[in-house]
Amino acid sequence: MTAKEILHSTEDKFKKTLESLAREFSEIRTGRASPTLVEGMHVDYYGTPTLLKQLASISAPDAHLLVIQPWDITAIPEIEKAIMKSNLGINPSNDGKVIRLSLPPLSKERRQELAKVVHKMSEDEGRVSLRTIRRDAKEHIEKLEKDKIISEDDKFRGIEELQKLVDKYIAKIDELLKNKEKEILEF
């Protein structure tokens, strides 16, 4: 494996980290109803943890309402139980066919709490992951030089390129964080 191959594989890992963080952010509640708030939720469906989006259609007919329509209405109690266990703080209501989640407007304090949660997520699940991946890639490049597969100059070039990649993806994480904080804090 060459330093270029290591950098290419590292960038793939960075992209996955960024996608994962974006997915995590989409599950954080803002002032608007969005199906992403609940679609990743696990429901105990006949003893098997199943994603809600695999059990029902989820729609947001307006900014403060989510409607969950299960394909199997016997799953309604389990879906409600999963929603109650989640940290959404919403009580579901059902009419026997669909579950409605009415999202109350967020208070200023709750918005600030959510902004802190998002900030911590970007550090713990974003930047820390990038640093771990960078460390592994750097060790791999250094091992290539130690095993005389690449020259010392190639090692330094590889490590320099690696740092440029890290800086690029940290900037993307910061941009993602800034956008999410703005979305959370706007009334």
Side by side, the strands of the sheet bearing 56-62 are: 56-62, 65-70, 99-102, 93-94
- For 109-162, write each residue's pLDDT tens digit: 878 888 888 888 898 889 999 999 999 999 999 999 999 998 989 999 999 999
In the prediction, which pLDDT does 8 show? 93
Whole-angstrom distance, CA of residue 21 vs CA of residue 169: 12
Domain of residue 53, residue span: 35-102
Choose the final residue of a domain: 82, 102, 122: 102
Please give the backbone phi and psi of residue 32, each rounded to the nearest 5 degrees, phi first: -105, 150
| Residue 167 reports pLDDT greater than 90 | yes
| Per-residue model confidence (pLDDT) at position 103 | 82
Half-sphere exposure of 64 (CA within 13 A, CB side): 5
For the segment 92-122, what is each residue's pLDDT rounded down to a tens digit? Answer: 999 989 999 988 777 888 788 888 888 888 9
CA 68 – CA 76 distance, rounded (Å): 9
- What pLDDT is stored for residue 176 in this prediction? 93
Predicted TM-score (pTM) of the model is: 0.69
- The residue from 76, 102, 128 where one domain ends is 102
How many whole angstroms separate alpha carbon 118 and alpha carbon 182?
11
Verify that 92 and 47 share a domain, yes or no: yes
Of all residues in the chain, what percent carry a pLDDT higher than 70? 97
CA atoms within 13 A of residue 29's CA, in its CB half-sphere? 22
Is pLDDT of 187 > 70? no
**Together in a domain, 61 and 129:** no
Residues 15 and 63 in one domain: no
Average pLDDT, rounded, for the chain = 88
Whether residue 94 is found in the same domain as residue 125: no
How many domains is the chain partitioned into structurally?
Answer: 2
Same domain, 90 and 139: no
- 22 with 76, same domain? no
Residue 38 CB-half CA count within 13 A: 37
C-alpha 65/C-alpha 80 separation (Å) is 15
Instruction: List the CATH number of the domain containing 145.
Output: 1.10.132.20
Give yes or no: residues 134 and 88 share one domain.
Answer: no
| Domain's final residue, options 61, 78, 102 | 102
Contact 75, 84 (CB under 8 A): no
Contact by Cβ (8 Å): 29, 106: yes
Q: Do 98 and 113 belong to one domain?
A: no
Determine whether 94 is exposed, middle or buried from the number of CB atoms within 10 Å of its CB (0-12, 13-18, 19+): middle
User: Which residue(s) pair with 80 in the sheet?
Assistant: none
What is the domain-level CATH number for residue 90? 3.30.1360.40
- Whether residue 17 is found in the same domain as residue 41: no
The reply to whether 113 and 173 lie within a common domain is yes
Q: What is the DSSP string of 45-72?
A: ETTEEEEHHHHEEEEEEETTEEEEEESS
